[in-house]
Amino acid sequence: MTTTAIEAAVLRVIDEMHANLGQELTIDDMARTAMFSKFHFTRVFRDVTGTSPGRFLSALRLQEAKRLLLQTDFSVADISSQVGYSSVGTFSSRFKSCVGVSPSMFRELDGFTTEIGPGEQSEGAAEHSRGALRGRVHLPQDRAPGHCFVGLFPTPVPQGRPVRCAVLDGPGSFELRDVPAGTWHVLVHSVPYGYEHMPSGTGDRDVVSVGSYGPVTAHEDTLLMPAEIVLRPLDALDPPMLMALLDLRADAMDRIAG
């Protein structure tokens, strides 16, 4: 099959996921929709999206939960049921693990967070350090510039707290210091200036730009090869951005500074 045909089959499955977020959807169901054998489908889906069908579906469910928390008055229990969880406790635990804050705090903070994680760094020149990953974020001329979140994750899905991260004022150079030994993915998320009010995971390809690099394997006391990351429009095949980002709106930054 051609790459186009394979991607079309995966997109059919993702459409089915969106239509059945609150229902049980098995690998067998998905494979039938794709018209592949179950084992071939799982491999193809991972090749196209970077993650497994189950993890992709879980991410879509939590993304819908984020939307419902911000745009409706439904209780956390109601929302957990609507996105396919039989236990509100399991839902809340999974939500906090992937988004970085609890469902109620996510709603209270309008979809943002007050801190990202232990690797949070500001933009700017840094002294040479071991175990560092340096690179540059490039933006095509047809994309509008804006703040860039650069995070180091164990999987291609931007969920949970990154092990290291940086928030850039715009496309350009970055350095992630003291990178732990392991295999990591560098994921970048950007929206144009003026869209800082949009929580992570909202907006379409006309607004959101994404990029990735890796996997890269870091060893103790090594300087990794520079990462050149070219941003592109968000695609339906991209796993959703689950983690809550810092609120970069001017009034929010003033509150943090104060």
Candidate from 16-30, 188-202, 212-226 with smallest mean pLDDT: 212-226
- Inter-residue contact 182 to 217 (CB < 8 Å): yes
For residue 231 the two structure tokens come to: 């941003």
Question: Which has the higher per-residue pLDDT, 156 or 74?
Answer: 74
**174 falls in which pLDDT band (50, 70, 90)?**
very high
Q: How do strand 173-176 and strand 133-138 relate by DSSP bridges?
A: antiparallel
Task: Judge if the upstream peptide bond of residue 145 is cis by omega within 30 degrees of 0.
Answer: no
Q: What is the pLDDT of residues 93-106, one digit of tens each?
A: 999 999 999 999 99
For residue 65 the two structure tokens come to: 């939960």
- Phi first, then psi: what are they for 15, rounded to 5°? -60, -40
- Inter-residue contact 99 to 75 (CB < 8 Å): no
The average pLDDT across 29-44 equals 95
**Which pLDDT value is given to residue 56?**
96
**118 falls in which pLDDT band (50, 70, 90)?**
low
Candidates 204, 200, 188; CA nearest to 247 is 200
The average pLDDT across 132-158 equals 94
For residue 186, CA distances in Å to 109, 151, 155 come to 26, 6, 9
- Cα 98 from Cα 256, distance rounded (Å): 24
**Which pLDDT value is given to residue 256?**
39
Q: What is the pLDDT of residues 179-207, one digit of tens each?
A: 888 999 999 999 999 998 899 888 888 89
Q: How many CB atoms lie within 10 A of CB 142?
A: 6
- State the chain's mean pLDDT as an integer: 89
